[in-house]
Structure formats: C-alpha cells, structure tokens
Structure 1
Amino acid sequence: MICPNCERNLLRKERTGNICGHCKRRYALDPKTNSLRLNDLRVRRIAIRLTEGGRTRVTPGQLWYALSRKRIRESEFAPGCAGGAFAGGALVSLWALFGGLPFMLYVSGALLAVGLGILIARKTGAGRGIPPMSRGDFRSVALAEWQRVYGNLPPGVVDDAGHPWPRRPAGASAPNAVLVCPDPSIAAFLTANGVPEHHGIALAQGVEHVTALLPDLPARGPVLVLHDADARGALLLRQLRESLPDRPVVDAGVPLRTVRGLPKAVAYRDPHRKPTAEEVRRLTALGEFTPEELKWLAQGWRFPLVGLPPARLLSVVDRLAAQVGRGVDAERRRAAEVGFMTWPGPAGNDRDPAGGGR
C-alpha cells in the first residue's frame, strides 16, 4: 500500500502496527486488516468525490455505502473456499488410494461435501448482498481509528451521531411542512446542508414526532416521507397515511421499482432489518408489489437513502421543498385576502422557499 504521509510504497513488513517504516508516521487504515480493504488515501479520495470537492457535506453513513459498494456487489458465501475444498478432497483421495490409507477416504469425502455445500449455498444466494462491514462497525472500528489518528472525521464528513432531528426553538417561524426521515445519516445530511432552515421545513424521525409538530403546521401543510426502498420504508408510508387521514402525505422516495431498474444501484441485505412474517403479510395486503418484489423485500433486500449520490438527493429534496413552500405560501396569501388569516406563527414571519421575505 501507499503511505498516506510520505507516499512511499510499503511492503507488509514495512508497516507494522500501522506505522510507516520510512517516515515513521502513523496512518489509520491498512487494507490487510479491515474487511473493506480500506486505506487512508482511498477514504480521502471517495470523500472528495462525494462532497464534490467540499461543496456538499456528507455523513458517515453515506461514506460507508460509497466505500462498501464494490464489496457488496462482489459478496458471496465463503469466497474462494469451494475450490480449495474440492482440490483438498481430490489430493486426499489420491493419497488414500496410492498410499494405502483407506481411512483417509472419509476425510476426502468430508472435504468434497464441504465444497459441494458451499456451491449449493452460493447458488441459493447465501451471503449475497451482505456487506463485509456493517454501518455500525464502520463507525466504531474504521472511523474510530481514523479519528484517533487524525483527530477528526475525513474532510467534508459531518457527524450523524446523537439526535439529528433538531427541535424548533421557541419563537421560530411555523414550518411549511414536515419531512419524515428515519435515517439519522440522512437527517444529519439535510441539516448540515441547510435544507430545513432554507425551506422552513421541520425534520421528524417518525409518527410520534410528526404528531407533536402538527399544531405548528398550516392546515394543509403536507408531510413528506423520505424513506429507504425496503419493507420498513413502505410500511412507514402506509402508517403515516393511516395516522393522518386529513393531511397530505407525500411519498418522497426512494421508489422501489425505479431504483431496482438502475444499473448502478447496488442493493444490500441487512440481517437485522429482515421483515417479520407479520410485516410481510402487511406488505402483501398493501397490494402495491408484485410477487417478485414481495420476495425481494421478504429476503431483507433494501436500497438505502445513503446509497443515492448526495448532490442528487439534495437536488431532489430542494426541488420538492421549494414546491411545497410555494403551495403553502399561495394558500396563506389567499386566506389573508379574504380576512381570516388563521395560520400559526406571528405575522411577518412568512418567507419564500429561497429564505427571503415576501
């Protein structure tokens, strides 16, 4: 690997303990010691690409997906082990036959059975789509080591830990709408890039948070739902529509059929987010998915919001938020003209989607 400090090419013996044998400086990540095969230069390069050279801020979740994407596409059950098992079984068989050791045939049979089992597992999809390093491990292992060495996150990456759904301060202008976004990485991403403040939108984590914000919304102020393309995302959308029958609930994506048709979209499976039998039953009852799509969702496949190009996601949310702001402002103007201005918030606090006064 290349030392990120002195840019010398290092052999394995020249970088013991993540310390360069030439410049004697420490680096964070060695491709031989982490399951994503990360090194510091690759992390910096991907971070620069994601942030468009620093113009956009991103989060650890988005960085994790960008760094994992290639390995997710390549993932399979026990990579490289089937051939070794078959080769070992064949060699042991020859040894048993020509060496007069018939009991070794049992060992040969066991090795051949292991190789066959691996092939069957791969054929049925075992291990496919499962990231070699989870989002949680990426934060607690790879990024933690990065921060120990460099003192902060990679350039352009903002922290998404804690509670990234900010509460509105007392006396703030009433929001135009609520944007529900359960993923803390995306909530932190939107906040870091000024979307809620710029468009007068309140961020919410789920149904309970939305309910607490309803008294501050205009009468027809919509609830936007930004969700992953997975089982829980589809069920969250339906739950919000059932809980808020008198208010527009807008599906802001990600659309499952659209994203599955994109050649560069890499879905993955999270063993901890596989839907339960009850959730699969509810998905089926929606009547919105084909049998093939239901099978895909039931196996735990998903395409996350953190997998969308950050600049593209920001552009889509900006455009949708601007449309919502224009619609709400138009209704406010009509209400004021007929003399029954009942929108919440003090007079004079309205603003257009660009953040200025009217």
Structure 2
Amino acid sequence: MICPHCARDLRRTERTGNVCGHCRRSYALDPKTNPLGLHDLRVRRVVARLTRAGEIRVTPGQLWYALSRRRLVKSEATSGCIAAALFAGGITGVIGLDEDLVLLHIASVALLLLTAGLVLMRVAGVGKGIPPQSREAFRSGPLVEWKKLYGELPPGLVDDGRFPRDSRPAAAERRAVLLCPDPSVAAFLAADGLPGRYGVVLAEDMHEVSAHCPDGPVIVLHDADARGHLLVREAREALPGRRVIDAGLSLRSVDGMPWAVPYRDEQDKPDSATMDRLASGVGLTPKELRRLARGWRFPLVGVPPARLLAVVTRVVERTIRAVDPDRRRAASVGFLTWPQAPAQGPAPAGER
C-alpha cells in the first residue's frame, strides 16, 4: 500500500502496527486487516468523488456502499482460486505419472474435483451480492479507527448515526413531508439543505408524518426491497385523503443501470407474511417477488449522491408547485423552469 503521508510504497513488513516504516507516521487503515481492503488514500479518493470535490456532503452509509460496490459483483469462487486449484491439480498429476505415486494421483483427482466445484460455484454466483462488511460494522470498525487517528470523519462526511430532527422548517412554512426511514439518506438531504429550501419535513415513520405535518402531500423515499415496496401501501392506508407519492426505488427501476449493483442479506430475508402482502396488489412480477424473497435489494444510499439529490429535488419541486399557488404562478411565467441538462451522476465511486 501507499503511505498517505510520504507516498512511499510499503511492503507488509514496512508497516507494522499501522505505522509507516519510512516516515514513522501512523495511518488509519491497512488493506490487509479489514474486509473491504481499505487504506486511507482510497477512502479519501472515493469521498472526493462522492462529494464532487466538496460540492455536496455525503454520509457514511453512502460511503459504505461505494466502498463495497466492486466486491458485490464478485463470487466467493474467484478466478485466482480456480486457476490456482487447476494449476496445482495439473502439476500434481504430471508428477504422479512420472513417479507412479498413488497418493499424488489421488491428490491430483481431488484438486481437479475442487476446480470443477469452484467453477460451478462461480457459475451459480455463490457469495455474489453479499457485502464483505455490513453498514453497521463499517461504522463501528473502519470509521472508528479513522476518527481515533484523525479526530473526525473524512472531510465531506456528515454523521448519520441518528435521524436529523433539527433541520425541520417552522410549522408555518411546512408544505410537504418526505417519509424516509433511512437515517443516512435523511441526513444527506438535510446536510445539503433540502428541507429548509422547500419547506419539507423529514419524517422517519408514519407517526412523525401526522405529528409534524398533519396535512399536505407525503413523498415516500424507500429502498428497492420488500419493506420499501410495502411502505407506500402502508402510507396510503394510514393517511386516507392525503396525496402519497412513491418516489422510491424498485429493482425494476435500477435494473441495468451501470452504477446499480444490488446486494442480498441472508440474515434479513422478508418473512412469508410480508411476501404474501407483496404478492397481493403491489404490482410486482413473479420474478421480482422471487428476488425479493431471496433477500435481494438495492438501497437509496447506493444511488450516486449528486443524482439522488437532483432527482429528489425535482420531485419535491413538482410536488410543492402543485400545492403552492405562488409557485404555480411563477412556473407559468417561466420562473423555476430554466432549461437544465439531464442530471448525470458521477462515475461509480469506489472502483479503485
């Protein structure tokens, strides 16, 4: 790895105890000692991409996905494992033929069978889509080590350890609600000023929607997972008479997007009752239901931050314009309707 201080290329023996053997300065992360293979320079590089060199601020949840992304597409049976097993099996077999040793013949057959098994695992995608480190473990592991050394989060990151409730506009200025159960996404939107700019209340659950904004439209932001698809239905059932707008993700909407790599959680699959509700009127295809039942999902924190902010802003603007007569009049004469280039998110971060 490269020392983040003196830029020297360090071998493993030159960086004992997370200390550079040349400049004698400490660093936070060693790629050999954390599941994501992180080092300080990579974290800084990815944060710079996510924030567009400081134009916006992002959260640890968004950083976690960006750093995990390239590992999600890999199977547990990597090309290196397959090649190593095949090479060892071939060499053992050749030596066994020359020496006529039964044990080497057996070892060669075993290694070749192992190779075949690894190939089948790779084809079947065993281990694919499983994060090497959970979002919670990332926050309590690498980020804690970073803060111990540098005293704060990487520049450009805002804390998402709690739902942001101190960014709500005054009661008289509240025009709509953004229902968003993910504290990372809510903290991101609050840090970039969206609630105050548009008079929008960020709510974590249905109770907060009614308590802090008893009327007006409700915009639902959710992940592409089983709970997310049900959240919109639950909001409409719990808030009869109010306009509920589905602004969340679905596996269908992100399918084929180059930046969208779904993941799965074997420990958090939806139960049968949830799947029964999903199958009865949410509009999902049998294929989508099967994927959700297996735990596949795509989170809002996986959307490139600049793209996510632009899309949510457009939805909020259209919603506020529909309920605010002053904004409707302004839009009719061209205000707030300047031509804009399509929102293009940054290239997927975390690739290097």
Question: Is TM more than 0.5 here?
Answer: yes
Q: Give a deviation string over 1:127-174, Cα, whole Å, max 9, x none.
A: 1111222211211111111111111101100110023344858x7425
Q: Give the superposition deviation at 1:98.
A: 6.7
Alignment of 1:36-47 (within 5 A): 36-47=36-47
- SS state at 2:267 partner: helix
Cα contact 1:227–1:233 (8 A) shared by 2? yes
Q: Give a deviation string over 1:310-341, Cα, whole Å, max 9, x none.
A: 112112222222222232222999xxxxxxxx
Cα contact 1:269–1:300 (8 A) shared by 2? yes
Name 2:262's counterpart in structure 1: 267
Work out the CA distance in 1 between the residues paired with 2:256 and 2:297.
13
- SS state at 2:324 partner: helix
Work out the CA distance in 2 between the residues paired with 1:163 and 1:203.
9
Work out the CA distance in 1 between the residues paired with 2:168 and 2:259.
38
Q: Give the superposition deviation at 1:11.
A: 1.9
Letter in 1 for 2:149: V
Work out the CA distance in 2 between the residues paired with 1:240 and 1:115.
51
Name 1:4's counterpart in structure 2: 4
How many residues of Structure 1 are paired with residues of Structure 2 in the alignment?
A: 330
- SS state at 1:196 partner: helix
Name 1:344's counterpart in structure 2: none
Name 1:212's counterpart in structure 2: 211
Please give the root-mean-square deviation of Cα atoms over the aligned residues, in Å.
Answer: 2.9
Work out the CA distance in 2 between the residues paired with 1:320 and 1:191.
16
Cα contact 2:85–2:115 (8 A) shared by 1? yes
TM-score normalised according to structure 2 size? 0.83
Letter in 2 for 1:284: A
Name 2:75's counterpart in structure 1: 76
Q: Give the superposition deviation at 1:61.
A: 0.6
TM-score normalised according to structure 1 size? 0.82
- SS state at 1:292 partner: helix
- SS state at 2:178 partner: strand
Aligned pair in 2 of structure 1 residues 110, 164: CA closer, same or farther (>3 Å)? Answer: farther
Work out the CA distance in 1 between the residues paired with 2:326 and 2:243.
14
Name 1:299's counterpart in structure 2: 294
Alignment of 1:131-146 (within 5 A): 131-146=131-146
Q: Which moved more, 1:150-159 or 1:203-212?
A: 203-212
Letter in 2 for 1:12: R
Q: Give the superposition deviation at 1:251.
A: 0.5
Work out the CA distance in 2 between the residues paired with 1:86 and 1:9.
32
Name 1:154's counterpart in structure 2: 154
Q: Give a deviation string over 1:23-64, Cα, whole Å, max 9, x none.
A: 110011122222222111111111111111212110001111
Say whether 1:310 aligns with 2:305: yes
Q: Give the superposition deviation at 1:274.
A: 2.1
Say whether 1:195 aligns with 2:194: yes
Q: 1:249 aligns with which of 236, 244, 253?
A: 244
Cα contact 2:259–2:303 (8 A) shared by 1? no
Aligned pair in 2 of structure 1 residues 41, 99: CA closer, same or farther (>3 Å)? Answer: same
> Unpaired segments of 5 or more residues in structure 1?
334-352, 354-358
Q: Give the superposition deviation at 1:294.
A: 1.9
Work out the CA distance in 2 between the residues paired with 1:280 and 1:165.
32
Alignment of 1:217-256 (within 5 A): 217-218=214-215, 221-256=216-251
Cα contact 1:166–1:203 (8 A) shared by 2? no
Q: Give the superposition deviation at 1:296.
A: 2.1
- SS state at 2:280 partner: helix
Cα contact 2:321–2:327 (8 A) shared by 1? no
> Unpaired segments of 5 or more residues in structure 2?
329-335, 337-352
Cα contact 2:168–2:195 (8 A) shared by 1? no
Work out the CA distance in 1 between the residues paired with 2:63 and 2:129.
18
